[in-house]
Amino acid sequence: VEKIDIGGPTMIRAAAKNHAHVMVVVDPADYPEVLRALAGEVAEEEVSEMRRKLAWKAFQHCASYDSQVAEWMWNQVGGGEPAPEKSVPMQLLQGLRYGENPHQPAAFYTDYSLAEVGMGGVARAVVHWGKEMSYNNYLDTDAAYNAVVDFDEPACVIVKHTNPCGAAVKGDLLEAYRLAVIADPISAFGGIVAFNRTVDADLAREIREFRSPTDGETRMFYEIVVAPLYTEEGLEVLKGKSKALRILEAPPRKSGGSGLRQVGGGWLAQTTDSITPADVTFTCVSEKQPTEQNMEDIKVAWNIVKHVKSNAITIAKDGRLLGMGSGQPNRVKSVEIAMEKADTQGGAGGAALASDAFFPFSWGDSVEKACQAGVAVIAHPGGSMRDQDAVDCCNKYGVVLLTTGIRHFRH
């Protein structure tokens, strides 16, 4: 408390209020222009405008400081409850050409809340190479990076329109990249590729030269590659892929924290969904018990389904995503889409299927369709009034059914 500045903000605010007669400077970047004005090198009307801008900057500077002080104070007394009032200090990182569409003006801000200190993430990324980042680029990169850093093992995740279309977990990061692309090379083309380990020269060459599995000739094109680190040689090799390829180095986002989302006239606040398979108890409710391989596969599927738009279904086997269904108003359609994609990888036979929420129906619906496709293990949160139907259906087909008690809706 003793470190909270009182006099400084008071003098700054007083000077800002009196800006018609005083120049208040809180940013050293403004010194050169202020010195020019004091030396009489700036027209009087421009000086008046400068005074107003400097006053705005002073008030905003104090407001941001007060926001951080208020955040710290509430952390001491709030007991974990939502603060009755809240302001978030933000700083413009860059103006963007446009938002989701060309007719929407946009900008990107960095969050300077105390809760964000040391949390990492895409907003703290260094852009080493490529075209200017766009609004959609930031959204997609955030989705891809959040998904890949959820894995403890070396992993690659490829995202298109914020949905993972390819993912693989392998001891060899280069092999993980290849398998992630193969999952859905059509969707991966023009996507965002994320890694949770250092990109070295060998991996960079593979990214640069890898041909699309659809024709074996076309070099894969990507908008962005993001990773926690690059070797010096790896970065130089990757730059050779394209002048437009954006290469980002970002500190991995730490688990925990909270987020804000805007709705008309207000904001929704929630803690982040930081639960991973290591935090989940997979309870077997079927007659057939899971093998070690079943559990490895379902954990990969479960890790990915959290990052897919609801209704979300993922199918995985041997450490890689075979297919996913996303964003469908009914769950059975997401299952059908996921199985359709898995068919391009040899089918869902022996694979694991994860659902972000419970199955409302089973017979002739999601669960039975998955069983008939040869899925070996299914995991869902459970909690439906028809849960027993899912158990009976899996018992009929000899499929393992697991419940988690954890839902992963994503809207």
- Quote the tokens at residue 402: 């697991």
Rounded to whole angstroms, what are the CA distances from 186 to 174, 180, 183, 213, 258? 20, 12, 9, 9, 34
Q: Is 265 helix (H, G, I), strand (E, B) or coil?
A: coil
Rounded to whole angstroms, what are the CA distances from 271 to 26, 54, 158? 34, 36, 25
- Report the sign of the C-alpha dihedral through residues 51, 55, 61, 65, in that order: positive
Q: How far apart are CA 169 and CA 184, in angstroms?
A: 16
Q: Which of 17, 53, 254, 396 is catalytic?
A: 17
Q: Which residues pair with 284 in a beta bridge?
A: 402
Q: Is 380 a catalytic site residue?
A: no
Q: Is 19 a catalytic site residue?
A: no
Q: Are strands 320-325 and 313-317 parallel, antiparallel or unpaired?
A: antiparallel
Is the Cβ–Cβ distance between 126 and 139 less than 8 Å? no
Is the Cβ–Cβ distance between 382 and 403 less than 8 Å? yes
Is the Cβ–Cβ distance between 148 and 194 less than 8 Å? yes
Q: How far apart are CA 9 and CA 24, in angstroms?
A: 11
Give, to the nearest 10 degrees, the angle between helix 201-209 and helix 173-183.
Answer: 20
Q: Which of 86, 131, 161, 288 is catalytic?
A: 161
What is the CB neighbour count within 10 angstroms for residue 256? 10
**Which of 296, 369, 257 has the alpha carbon at shortest distance from 394?**
369
Is the Cβ–Cβ distance between 66 and 112 less than 8 Å? no
Catalytically active residues are 17, 161
